[in-house]
Structure 1
Amino acid sequence: MTRFEFAFSRAYRAAGLPFGVNPRTAWAAIDGDRLSVHFGPWRLRTSLDNIANATITGGFAFIKTAGPAHLSLADRGVTFATNGERAVCLEFHRPVTAIDPMGLITHPNATLTPSDPESFLAALGGDLPEAS
């Protein structure tokens, strides 16, 4: 298993604490052909072959991304952000569950903030397009 810690800015760390999001509870792991993301009480799990695309992104507004997991009302994507500067956006072939413990809401994409986005992309492997 390869584990990727999340990169926390000071402001995002403070905003995440009331929701149980901190450096011990926010990370991503690649284990064989599976991706697991932990973000405080929220979880996302999928097979690596379900990842259609992975790109480096960033420049997020604090108010829209800090604190708990965020659901985009525009496209149902989920955001697990611990900083606003650099993240990885994953697009899925088949939507995944994450924000809703009942599994009623599914997400066609997820954004997360590993401390080393380039190494995270490399560990995903395969022929995923990489853009920044």
Structure 2
Amino acid sequence: MTRFAFGFDPAWRVPLLLLGVGPGRAFAEVREGEFSVRFGPWSLRTPLSNVAGTSVTGPYAPWKAIGPRLSLADRGVTFGTNARRGVCVRFHIPVPALAPGGFLAHPDATLTVSDPEGLVEALGRHARREPGT
């Protein structure tokens, strides 16, 4: 298992803590067969075989990137802790993350981890090991 911490901008640390999002509760994990994200009370989990692609993205406008966000344009989810850089992870089949009960699924997730290139590399390395991909 490889864990990637989110890169917190000091200016947003306290507001995010009020939402339950702190360094101990904000991370992405890549393990054999699974990709998961914890962002305070929110979470996302999917098989690695569902990861369609990744890209390093940013910078972002802070009002579009900080906190848990839903894109009204494409239903994508953002779990953001800074406006500098992150990773967009695209899925073959949309996954639930923001709404309870899983009735809202997201085709992609933007995650502002502290090591975007490392997450991209880990997802690519593990996805190549998935049977049938």
TM-score, length-normalised on structure 2?
A: 0.90
Distance across 2 between alignment mates of 1:119 and 1:109: 18
Deviations 1:14-49 (Å, cap 9, x if unpaired)? 221110011111001111110110000000001111
Question: Could you say which residue in structure 2 is the equivalent of 1:36?
Answer: 36
Residues 66-105 of structure 1 mapped to structure 2, 5 A cutoff: 66-67=66-67, 69-105=68-104
Query: Which residue in the other structure is 2:12 paired with?
Result: 12
Identity %: 52
Q: How many residues align?
A: 126
SS where residue 119 of structure 2 aligns?
Answer: helix
What is the CA–CA distance in structure 2 between the aligned matches of 1:65 and 1:113, rounded to whole Å? 9
Q: Which moved more, 1:117-126 or 1:22-31?
A: 117-126
Report runs of 4+ in structure 1 exceeding 4 Å deviation.
none
Across the aligned residues of Structure 1 and Structure 2, the Cα RMSD in angstroms comes to: 1.1
- What whole-Å deviation, never above 9, does each CA across 1:89-128 have from its counterpart, x for those lacking one? 011100000001111100000000111111111111246x
Secondary structure of residue in 1 paired with 2:54: strand
Counterpart in 2 of 1:45? Answer: 45
1:59 corresponds to which residue?
59
Alpha-carbon distance in 1 for matches of 2:15, 2:54: 26
Q: Helix, strand or coil: the match of 2:22?
A: coil
Contact 1:15 1:66 in 2 (8 A): no
- In 2, Cα distance between the equivalents of 1:21 and 1:54? 24
Unaligned runs of 5+ residues in structure 1 are 128-132
Give the aligned partner of residue 131 of structure 2: none
SS at match of 1:102: helix
SS of alignment partner, residue 122 of structure 1: helix
| Aligned partner of residue 46 in structure 2, secondary structure | strand
